[in-house]
Amino acid sequence: MDGNGRWAAARGLPRIFGHRAGVEAARRVVEAAPGAGVSILTLFAFSSDNWRRPPAEVDALMRLMGSYLQNETPRCIEQGVRLEVIGRRDRLDSALTSAIARAEAATAHGRRLRLRIAVDYSGRDAILAAARGIPELSRDALELAIGPAVDLLIRTGGERRLSDFLLWESAYAELVFTRTMWPDFGATDLAAAVRDFHSRDRRFGAVPPPAPRREQAWLD
Ligand code: IPE
Ligand code: MG
């Protein structure tokens, strides 16, 4: 979810207006995800490096997160969305951590979409934390501890980098970079990214299967 600040600046508005519009975009995308064939959606709401932003903006983002959780919980229950928050919790305000716990508990039965919101999240820290909890470290054990592999990673706002997001899980992710600012992103953009994903040949390091010989093709 990148481009909120620039979206606001382009309209002569303070950055927080962009963040508010970004919440609307998140709502649209969550609603559109199951229909687009997405069963797990992870939104990067606040990176561990975003603490470097001016305190007023950090504060506004945290408040928005709290109100999003509160407002969206009934809608999530209605739409079968199971909400969970990934990232560190020890640096969050206690009101926010309780709001997270309430939203997670209330939506725990959702089966249509698993919505993961990354808050105070760092992919590198997530790998370290997962590794620390594993007595006998192996690739399988880490994979199990860290969370589902990413199939499609979409970055809005024109930047073409991962910025410490789901690093391990994105080992074979298909990357889609779009210049669209996050507040302008919607169901159509999601559908286009999913179409792009399906058009790609995913080989996971293997070679493509040989083309069938002519007579075989004929028999098929
Ligand atoms: C939203 O966009 C991402 C968040 C951390 C909430 P930005 O705030 O990064 O917006 P730009 O990149 O300055 O336009
Ligand atoms: Mg940005």
Domains of the chain and any CATH numbers: 15-198 (3.40.1180.10)
Res 16: pLDDT: 97
- Residues taking part in catalysis: 2, 50
Residue 19 pLDDT class (50, 70, 90 cuts): very high
Helices marked H in the chain: 4-9, 15-32, 55-79, 94-106, 123-132, 139-146, 187-198, 214-219
Whether residue 220 is predicted with pLDDT greater than 70 in this model: the reply is no
For residue 9, the ligand closest to its alpha carbon is: 1
Residue 166 pLDDT class (50, 70, 90 cuts): very high
Res 217: pLDDT: 57
Residue nearest to atom 9 of ligand 1 (CA): 2
Instruction: Name every protein residue with a CB atom under 6 angstroms from any ligand 1 atom.
Output: 1-6, 19, 22, 46, 50, 61, 157, 182
Residue 216 pLDDT class (50, 70, 90 cuts): low
Mean pLDDT in residue range 13-27: 98
Sign of CA dihedral 114, 177, 119, 185: negative
Q: What is the mean pLDDT of the chain?
A: 96
- Rounded Cα distance between 31 and 29, Å, is 5
Res 141: pLDDT: 98
Minimum mean pLDDT range among 29-43, 123-137, 178-192, 201-215 = 201-215
Res 208: pLDDT: 83
Mean pLDDT in residue range 205-215: 79
- Rounded Cα distance between 80 and 214, Å, is 48
- Rounded Cα distance between 11 and 2, Å, is 16
Query: Are the C-beta atoms of 206 and 48 separated by less than 8 Å?
Result: no
Q: Is the pTM of this model over 0.85?
A: yes
Question: The tokens of 161 are what?
Answer: 């980098």
